[in-house]
Structure 1
Amino acid sequence: MMLRTLAFSALTVAMVSPALAQMTPTRPTPTLSIGDKAPELKDVEWLRGEPISGWQEGQVYVLDFWATWCGPCIAAMPHVQKLHEEYEDKGVHFIGVSIWPRPNQTATAEWLATRGEQYTYRFAEDNDAGLNANAFMRASGQGGIPTVMIIDQSGKLAWIGHPMADMDESLAKIVAGEWDAEAYAKEKAEREARQRELMAKSRPIMERLQTAFYAEDWSGMAKAIDELLELDSEMFAQYSLHKYMALIKGDDTRGAAEWGNKVLTQLYPDNTQLLNWFAWAIVDPETELKPEQRDHRLAVRFAERANALAEGKDADVLDTLAMAHYSAGNRDKAIELQKKAVALATDPGMKEMFQSRLVRYESGESPE
């Protein structure tokens, strides 16, 4: 399942401000690295599954650090569950470790009972002092969740990353005993050094982008985004959507259509998540776009490509595609697709929302 954008202003503030914050060198020098003996989970409250007291030789452990307030964490859980089901009889133990609680968040135990019944791997919650967040996340220099850490058969830290980024291939190699931790550590260090360099170069561009946004200087915003994409088109791919929305806001409808087509056919034709974001940004009932600014045919094209890449198996993408078709006047197709989205949805809250949309489509009402 993939998260989608809602409103342009919320999207921009949410993506620009954290990017600036991440460039501030506030993280301590890592003391836990790939190849090091992994610390043990200590003083956690086990919420699901049998407790684990240590790393047993010959077994692999996949620690998924998350929180109930973290949307991307929850969006990645179906994928983690799928891997758990694939590897549970192969000596691989998945553990969801809840960290970094916030005052008004849903309690982890409550969330698991009401929204996480379908996740059958182990779950544990860090203590109030953040002992395990410090031992794993802070010690390895990680500042965001979801973050997965894989501990190999010898109890050493073998892999760190996002659950949706290369984890599948890495886990398969670790389980098969074919993992080259030294080569991975070198590649990871080089990649992170490159990212730091890019973030430093992008800081003044980000600041101009943020200034242009608050000044409603849509042309200036689009130009700043062009600079970011020239700097690194993959790292800043999500900003291509900002440019599209800025062009729309600046009444450059033709330019927006041309840019959207370029994103779809040339720049990011295989980026499922980005294509889904584009489609949803156009058809979202809560979008800031005016009715005459919504390019429904383009939204359908984006969503159809995203669905093809997802092989029709992602409920969130199907929901987007259904909304795009409904907004374009293709009611029967929307109903057909929405039924599939409802059937595939695993999160109870998401399934309920998808079902409510299906009812509206069937009745011919507005999806809002």
Structure 2
Amino acid sequence: MNLSMESKAPAIQAQNWIGGEPLANCQPGKVYVLEFFSTTCGFCVAPMLKLIQLQEKYRDRGLEVVGVAANERAATADQAQAYIDAWLTENVPTLNFRVGIDCTGEMNKLWKEASFSFALPCSFVVDRDSRVAFIGNPALLDSVLPQVLDGTWRSSDQAKAADRERIARGREDVFLSKISAAIEMEDWKTALSAIEEGIALLPDSLQLRMAHAHLLLHKMGDMQTGLAVLRQLVRDAIDRNSEDWLLGLLTQLFGPKYDDTNFPPAERLAMGKELSEHVLALTGLEDKVKASYYRSVSRYFYESGDKARAEELLELAVKLVDGLPVPDDSKQLWLENLLQTLANYKGEEVCHGDVCVVPRTHIPSGATPDAEKKNLA
């Protein structure tokens, strides 16, 4: 059964409950938020704390928040409850809603898998008609909940568009998981088949189309077919003038994790030039986004031999980051990564304020290992 907006809310199959009486089904006349979380999810604490506020704010309008713990690695529901009790006591001490615990896999099957939802945390909103009204990121509840409570959300164009996009992302994740598993086994035929099937279903998926080029060029070594696929992808990115597509392809061409040994240098640089020009021509971008783009584009200029332009872009990125209203520890780490790349390009120590770094050797494109593990921008 596929679960989407307008679907009848499935049953709530939890074995143990914390902070309230058992609930088997969403009752008509009430609005429910089912929040799937896990004690091992590093991003789940803040949404749970926010849900406390939402429960208090909208309780008189019929809101019932229900936490769902269905991803605990425990042998029994009692053992899972012990883990969850300890986690809630430490992280959510003022809990004002009930939490259901399922160790059978049924809740994930009925709710998350049926709706192509794989991330945690994940929110499901059920409206007064016991119909699913929203599935997705709990960060969106502030804007979605008032409309669900008013009965205006499900019929809105915004809701329908959000649900279409969510389903597309979920299907994309399914294909990417299949592809990743096949690549890990070096089963190129299966991976290629999954990619082609996915692109046929989701032709606008940048991730699938990039995976197609990557598989052909870097795994299968089919340079002729791979280059044709990549050329078309570059043309499509430019036609769309999409920042995600342009930067994604630039990263695929010049990111340090890709082996370009057999890639024709002239063609690679030609594609990089075209993409970089369009990225730099984008307007209306926030400073945070610009800083990220400047660092990515600097890799192209460095490899093309325009070292001065590469350094100029990194220096601009440093200035932008320095002015961002972000926590000091995040800003410091971001600046260190940018300055490390700049030092690698210059071949000398560089400083900005109290932050100084020296060049490192044997690091492709001047990128730092930490920067490549996590996109801080």
TM-score, normalization by structure 2: 0.53
What is the rounded CA distance, in whole Å, between the counterparts of 1:303 and 1:198 in structure 2? 41
Give the equivalent residue in structure 1 for 2:202: 199
What is the rounded CA distance, in whole Å, between the counterparts of 1:52 and 1:334 in structure 2? 55
Structure 1 residue 115: Cα displacement: 10
Superposition map of 1:124-163 within 5 A: 124=99, 126-163=101-138
What is the rounded CA distance, in whole Å, between the counterparts of 2:151 and 2:215 in structure 1? 45
- Using CA pairs under 8 Å that are at least 6 residues apart, name the structure with larger relative contact order, 1 or 2: 1
SS of the residue 1:181 aligns to:
coil
C-alpha spacing 1:194/1:94, structure 2 compared with 1 (3 Å): closer
Q: Is the CA contact 2:124–2:136 (under 8 Å) kept in the aligned structure 1?
A: yes
Give the equivalent residue in structure 2 for 1:361: none
Give the equivalent residue in structure 2 for 1:173: 147
Q: Does 2:12 correspond to 1:41?
A: yes
Deviations along 1:293-321, one digit per CA (max 9) or x if unpaired, are xx67645655776797xx72568853543
Give the equivalent residue in structure 2 for 1:209: 214
Give the equivalent residue in structure 2 for 1:85: 53
Match of 2:325 among 312, 319, 329: 312
Match of 2:251 among 244, 249, 274: 244
What is the rounded CA distance, in whole Å, between the counterparts of 2:290 and 2:121 in structure 1? 19
What is the rounded CA distance, in whole Å, between the counterparts of 2:15 and 2:132 in structure 1? 19
Deviations along 1:15-36, one digit per CA (max 9) or x if unpaired, are xxxxxxxxxxxxxx51x44234
RMSD: 5.3
Q: Is the CA contact 1:97–1:125 (under 8 Å) kept in the aligned structure 2?
A: yes
Which runs of 5 or more structure 2 residues have no equivalent in the other structure?
Answer: 75-79, 172-199, 300-306, 343-349, 357-369, 371-377
1:244 partner letter: T
TM-score, normalization by structure 1: 0.54
Query: How many pairs were matched up?
Result: 287
What is the rounded CA distance, in whole Å, between the counterparts of 2:292 and 2:298 in structure 1? 10
Structure 1 residue 181: Cα displacement: 1.1
Q: Is the CA contact 1:99–1:126 (under 8 Å) kept in the aligned structure 2?
A: yes
What is the rounded CA distance, in whole Å, between the counterparts of 1:35 and 1:315 in structure 2? 44
C-alpha spacing 1:119/1:266, structure 2 compared with 1 (3 Å): farther
Which runs of 5 or more structure 1 residues have no equivalent in the other structure?
Answer: 1-28, 284-291, 336-356, 358-368
Give the equivalent residue in structure 2 for 1:118: 91
Q: Which has the larger radius of gyration?
A: 2
Structure 1 residue 173: Cα displacement: 1.9
Superposition map of 1:53-64 within 5 A: 53=23, 55=26, 59-64=30-35
Structure 1 residue 150: Cα displacement: 1.0
1:128 partner letter: C
What is the rounded CA distance, in whole Å, between the counterparts of 1:90 and 1:180 in structure 2? 16
Give the equivalent residue in structure 1 for 2:175: none
Give the equivalent residue in structure 1 for 2:43: 75
What is the rounded CA distance, in whole Å, between the counterparts of 1:211 and 1:50 in structure 2? 54
Q: Is the CA contact 1:108–1:125 (under 8 Å) kept in the aligned structure 2?
A: no
Give the equivalent residue in structure 2 for 1:97: 68
Structure 1 residue 149: Cα displacement: 0.8
Farther off after superposition, 89-98 or 271-280: 271-280
Deviations along 1:180-226, one digit per CA (max 9) or x if unpaired, are 31345644565578777662466566423322233497x94864652
Structure 1 residue 101: Cα displacement: 5.6
Structure 1 residue 152: Cα displacement: 2.6
2:49 partner letter: Q
